[in-house]
Structure 1
């Protein structure tokens, strides 16, 4: 197995988490934090990081709704720690709007939770995202077709055959995105 820490997409996810986390912590609009990180370029911000951050911002209301519906009774978004909440947001965005297989999005979030959050976070994030897949399946009428397509792609890859991709990846690399900042920044308005 390849070293996950060396994966460009893993590094991009971690950087997206850093940007979302920093914005919440500093109570600052996420688009400003992202723009600053892109301008500083230390290290350079990967296009996939920009896609993840802008994608979350674009679909924040729906993603947070899925996340709320995936929490156990008594849990709220505000009760979740910032790392876990933002890892879940990134993973749900990936599951909904990219060609990343759901199991990969979940595994990446769980691995980053193990590295960056509490001891209980990997199991918590895994459970929340497993429920999120069920929520997404119930909300998406053609989820059975998408699931069948993913299975066919997996089966074809295992046998060395290829199948056409049905990606819905977002091209959201616009740093000046003007969606409301769902991180709770009162200055965003």
Structure 2
């Protein structure tokens, strides 16, 4: 019987996913995920100056740009499958990992959704809590099913409409407060 060699460590694409998750996590902790422009600005900074010893992989930059362009949609999908309240209840690392995987499922036809989930779970095992892999797997698998059966289109449209209304209200309230100040 021939032994199949086990894959040791991360592949180049997995490393790029992890680097993208690192940037998304940094953006989350710095409050920069409210604006796609702020996320792109952080990406531009990380292309120039990185704490890592290697340059930012092209695929990592592609992921961050993709997440920035679809952040509202991605967060709506994650939030719809999240059982314990809003996105702020998820560990930031897990949210960053899931944003990467959801973008891949939505926008990268070269990556099978099951592979995106497996990669996300592997990254969660490596850099997050003991409970994270199961949570990441459950949320992403639910999203995969939603994408496969086409049920996400209506959910996203209604979620995006209500979040837009909320932003408009919050902006009006903010303007009133600033006028009073």
TM-score normalised by L of structure 2: 0.71
Aligned length: 139
Does 2:39 align with 1:30? yes
| C-alpha deviation, 1:138, in angstroms | 3.3
**Among residues 31, 40, 46, which one is paired with 2:49 in the alignment?**
40
Structure 2 counterpart of 1:11? 15
Q: 1:140: how far off?
A: 6.2
Task: Report the counterpart of residue 170 of structure 2 in structure 1.
Answer: none
d(CA) in 2 for partners of 1:118, 1:75 = 19
String of CA shifts for 1:153-176, please: whole Å, max 9, x gaps: xxxxxxxxxxxxxxxxxxxxxxxx
Superposition CA RMSD, Å: 1.7
Give the C-alpha shift of residue 121 in structure 1: 0.2
Aligned mates of 1:75, 1:114 — CA distance in 2: 23
Alignment of 1:54-73 (within 5 A): 54-72=65-83
Q: Distance in 2 between matches of 1:108 and 1:4?
A: 12
Cα contact 2:77–2:143 (8 A) shared by 1: yes
Alpha carbons of 1:100 and 1:115: their partners in 2 closer, same or farther (altered >3 Å)? same
Partner-residue secondary structure (3-state), 2:117: helix
Write out aligned runs for 1:100-179 (5 A): 100-139=111-150
The answer for unaligned runs of 5 or more in structure 1 is 142-189
Structure 2 residue runs of 5 or longer lacking an equivalent are 1-5, 33-37, 153-181
Distance in 1, matches of 2:120 and 2:46, equals 22
Scaled by the length of structure 1, the TM-score of the pair is: 0.69
Runs of 4+ in 1 over 4 A off after TM superposition: none
